[in-house]
Amino acid sequence: MQPAEKLKREIARSYDSNPKGWNVFVGRDNRKFSQALISNGSNVWVLKEEIINPYKSVGLGVKLVDRLDSLKSAVPQEFGLRPLNQRQIRGLIDLTKKEKSPRDFLLGIMKSKPVSSGNITSPLILQGPIMSTENPLSLLSDKHRELDRKLNSELNRLLLRKYPQTVLPYL
């Protein structure tokens, strides 16, 4: 188990080295901890966090190295950063002026190849898709339920030590 911030930096480096084949699932568990399941095909990261305030979260996570091909079948489009060119930016502006739905326009952009963050020169990017599910960890196998319990326990212990106001009621 590692701090979520450290794993997020690892995920960003891994994405930048190869932006193809990514999937992102987010949701909340029964305790309302924020959860993320991020996969690039060969690795899966599981993050569990508590939002302390709008600018800070604290959490833990693990990196799994067993391939989870079942995640690929759950998402029709891979996650990525897709910069908009000038023509696409003008098209988006035109859509907002005409108050038309941007659905088909955005789906067209989603068909483009994702790029690493270092290759973005456009002032606008489309990020996603990020799939929302009630509990993303439920997409893992039954053997990962113990991992979920362990992450919950460790995050509760971390919060009690560093941010007791998030766990204990005010007196």
Residue-level pLDDT at 15: 96
* SS3 (DSSP) at 171: coil
Residue-level pLDDT at 29: 85
Q: Please identify every stretch of the chain with a pLDDT value under 50, giving residue numbers as ranges.
A: none
Token reading at 43: 């690795």
Partnered with residue 61 across adjacent β-strands are: 2, 47
Residue-level pLDDT at 93: 85
Structure confidence by residue, pLDDT tens digits, 33-75: 999 999 987 889 999 999 998 899 999 999 987 656 555 555 6
Residue-level pLDDT at 144: 75
CA–CA dist 95, 32 (Å, integer):
37
Query: pTM of this prediction?
Result: 0.84
Give the ranges where 37-122 is alpha helix by DSSP (H): 69-74, 86-98, 103-110
What CA dihedral angle connects 127, 129, 130 and 134, to 10 degrees?
160
Residue-level pLDDT at 6: 96
Residue-level pLDDT at 17: 95
Residue-level pLDDT at 146: 83
Q: What number of other Cβ atoms are within 10 A of residue 36's Cβ? A: 22
**What is the Cα 149 distance to its own chain's centre?**
20
